[in-house]
């Protein structure tokens, strides 16, 4: 059992004794002291979870002691006690960072409830910190190769500016991670980072998803909904898969970004926008413009700072570092024997799915190693996933194409039967909506041609 430690600072001997008795009965470890100056020294040595601090002491002013504690240990939980409690002093104490305030004579049941709340908050705070550290650890851009060093430099220079960015790179190269890094290292870091998957919003929901809607503005609008643009206001709006959005969405987005104001569907108010926009795509947008798939004016609006992310094939020397990083994540605390042969296998593979594929592979290797110390000569025998091309011979390729052709026709047929409604089509076919979306995207199907609007 983890010991819960409480330090009581009060000049009255009888209070110290009675509190010590009651709190020890409740299994707390308790120390007491009669003055603020001694209390400050005791905090360093005893490291209490919670300090109970009297406000009125002949030698010290409890509020000043509280200030000193908070200056060196801002996280220390302090509960103030006072027999002459006025609302004013209580408010002052809370403003100085006290957790709570209890009046004397102390009602023990009340104190115990207060302590329970304080310990709950402490547990939540430390859990929060662990989670935040884990996220930060997980969101590091790993790599020391020249392309990676250049990329990190560019990210570092770009992040503090307000400049809009278009990130281009193959699947799984880390575009979203870069977008998050740009946000985290910008003056907007305390505001929201809101991602919009531009390829996944059906035409009929574009305005409501992006700009929100008022209650009752259309059938099914049971509540007011805040759209992604408004959610991101003051922060960063991440337009993901920007090269895959349909023409309707392109024009809506361009208009909002040019005018810098939006209106919720059915709303009267104009909402002014203060956004930093970061867009990402695996497509070559200039080529998409030539093909007539992407609006040139939108491209120039977004593309203030272009960032191109290298593929993993272009920076194979980063593979050992990445593998080590992912092993720490998936098998924390395990030693890391690095066998050269295993790494050379990993470094010679083309990694068409880039870092995401490598990450998944390491996770699988960690699981398959059965929780033992990772045996790298064994792992070298697990083939990384072969590419589709490698997995199938020439005849198989024809068969694959035939299957794909059939699948595309089938999806087109069911889509048109359901008026282009993706949810209904997914239900009819019996697959997840998101899965159907991927297929629609992969086959380049234009849903609006199938009756969707
Ligand atoms: N340099 C890196 N260091 C460590 N992890 C990375 C790095 N780049 C990417 N990753 C990890 O690889 C995975 C894929 O990255 P991310 O989702 O950012 O790629 P993406 O380019 O947006 O992919 P997609 O094109 O499929 O959307 C994530 O789990 C991410 O944390
Ligand atoms: Mg992505």
C-beta of residue 207 within 8 angstroms of C-beta of residue 427: no
C-beta of residue 246 within 8 angstroms of C-beta of residue 448: yes
C-beta of residue 422 within 8 angstroms of C-beta of residue 201: no
439 lines ligand 1 (CB under 6 A): no
Kindly report the three-state secondary structure assignment for every residue of 101-146.
Answer: EEECCCCHHHHHHHHHHHHHHHHHHHHHHHHHHHHHHHCCCCCCCH
**Residue matched to tokens 């100056």:** 37
Q: Whose CA is nearest to atom 12 of ligand 1?
A: 356
C-beta of residue 101 within 8 angstroms of C-beta of residue 84: no
In this prediction, residue 400 carries a pLDDT of 63
In this prediction, residue 313 carries a pLDDT of 94
176 lines ligand 1 (CB under 6 A): yes
In this prediction, residue 391 carries a pLDDT of 43
Residue of 147, 280, 282, 356 best suited for mutating to test ligand 1, as the one with most atoms within 8 Å of CB: 356
In this prediction, residue 373 carries a pLDDT of 53
Query: Token pair for residue 35?
Result: 């003055």
Distance CA 52, CA 75 (A): 15
Q: Whose CA is nearest to atom 25 of ligand 1?
A: 171
**Residue matched to tokens 């490598």:** 358
Residue of 135, 146, 172, 184 best suited for mutating to test ligand 1, as the one with most atoms within 8 Å of CB: 172
Distance CA 29, CA 204 (A): 62
In this prediction, residue 394 carries a pLDDT of 42
What share of residues in the chain are helix, strand, coil (percent, to 5)? 50, 15, 35
Per-residue pLDDT for the chain (453 aa), expressed as one digit of tens each?
Answer: 678 999 999 999 999 999 999 999 999 999 999 999 999 999 999 999 999 999 988 888 899 999 999 999 999 999 999 887 677 888 899 999 999 999 988 999 999 999 999 999 999 988 888 887 777 777 889 999 999 999 999 999 999 999 999 999 999 999 999 999 999 999 999 999 999 999 989 988 999 999 999 998 888 888 999 999 999 999 999 999 999 999 999 999 999 999 999 999 999 999 999 999 999 999 999 999 999 999 999 999 999 999 999 999 999 999 999 998 888 888 777 665 555 566 777 888 889 999 999 998 888 877 776 655 555 555 545 555 544 444 444 444 555 666 677 678 778 888 888 888 888 888 877 777 888 888 888 888 888 776 654
Helix (H, G, I), strand (E, B) or coil at 68: helix
Query: Token pair for residue 75?
Result: 């996280």
Ordered structural domains, the chain, with CATH? 5-135 (3.40.50.2300), 148-308 (3.40.50.300), 323-389 (1.10.8), 393-450 (1.10.10.60)
Distance CA 64, CA 87 (A): 18
In this prediction, residue 142 carries a pLDDT of 95
- Identify the sign of the CA torsion 56, 58, 62, 67: positive
C-beta of residue 82 within 8 angstroms of C-beta of residue 15: no
In this prediction, residue 406 carries a pLDDT of 67
In this prediction, residue 374 carries a pLDDT of 53
């Amino acid at each position: 059992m983890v010991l819960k430690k409480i330090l009581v600072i009060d000049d009255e001997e009888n209070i110290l004794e009675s509190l010590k008795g009651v709190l020890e009965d409740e299994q707390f470890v308790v120390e007491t002291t009669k003055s603020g100056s001694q209390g400050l020294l005791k905090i360093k040595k005893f490291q209490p979870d919670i300090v109970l601090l009297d406000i009125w002491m002949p030698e010290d002013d409890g509020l000043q002691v509280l200030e000193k504690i908070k200056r060196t240990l801002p996280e220390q939980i302090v509960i103030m006690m006072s027999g002459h409690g006025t609302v004013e002093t209580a408010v002052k104490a809370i403003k100085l960072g006290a957790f709570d305030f209890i009046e004397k004579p102390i009602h023990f049941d009340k104190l115990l409830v207060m302590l329970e709340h304080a310990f709950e908050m402490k547990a939540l705070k430390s859990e929060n910190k662990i989670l935040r550290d884990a996220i930060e650890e997980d969101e590091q851009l790993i790599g020391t190769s020249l392309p990676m060093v250049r990329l990190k430099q560019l990210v570092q220079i770009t992040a503090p500016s307000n400049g809009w960015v278009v990130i281009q790179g193959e699947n799984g190269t880390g575009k979203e991670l870069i977008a998050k890094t740009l946000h985290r290292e910008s003056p907007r870091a305390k505001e929201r980072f809101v991602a919009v998957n531009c390829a996944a919003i059906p035409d009929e929901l574009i305005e409501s998803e992006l700009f929100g809607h008022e209650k009752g503005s259309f059938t099914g609008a049971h509540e007011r909904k805040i759209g992604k643009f408004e959610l991101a206001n003051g922060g960063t709006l991440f337009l993901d898969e920007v090269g895959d959005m349909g023409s309707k969405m392109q024009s809506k987005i361009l208009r909002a970004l040019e005018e810098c104001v939006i209106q919720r569907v059915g709303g009267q108010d104009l909402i002014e926008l203060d956004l930093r926009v970061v867009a990402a795509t695996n497509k070559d947008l200039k080529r998409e413009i030539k093909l007539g798939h992407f609006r040139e004016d939108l491209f120039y609006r977004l593309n203030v700072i272009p960032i191109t992310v290298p593929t993993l094939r272009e920076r194979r020397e980063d593979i050992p570092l990445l593998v080590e990083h992912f092993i720490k994540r998936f098998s924390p605390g395990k030693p890391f024997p690095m066998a050269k042969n295993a790494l050379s296998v990993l470094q010679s593979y083309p990694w068409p799915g880039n870092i995401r594929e490598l990450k998944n592979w390491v996770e699988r290797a960690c699981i398959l190693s059965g929780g033992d110390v990772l045996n790298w000569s064994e792992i070298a025998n697990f083939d990384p996933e072969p590419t589709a091309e490698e997995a199938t011979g020439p005849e198989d390729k024809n068969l694959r194409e035939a299957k794909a052709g059939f699948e595309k026709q089938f999806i087109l047929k069911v889509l048109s039967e359901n008026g282009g409604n993706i949810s209904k089509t997914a239900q009819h076919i019996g697959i997840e909506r998101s899965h159907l979306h991927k297929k629609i995207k992969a086959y380049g199907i234009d849903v609006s041609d199938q009756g969707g609007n």
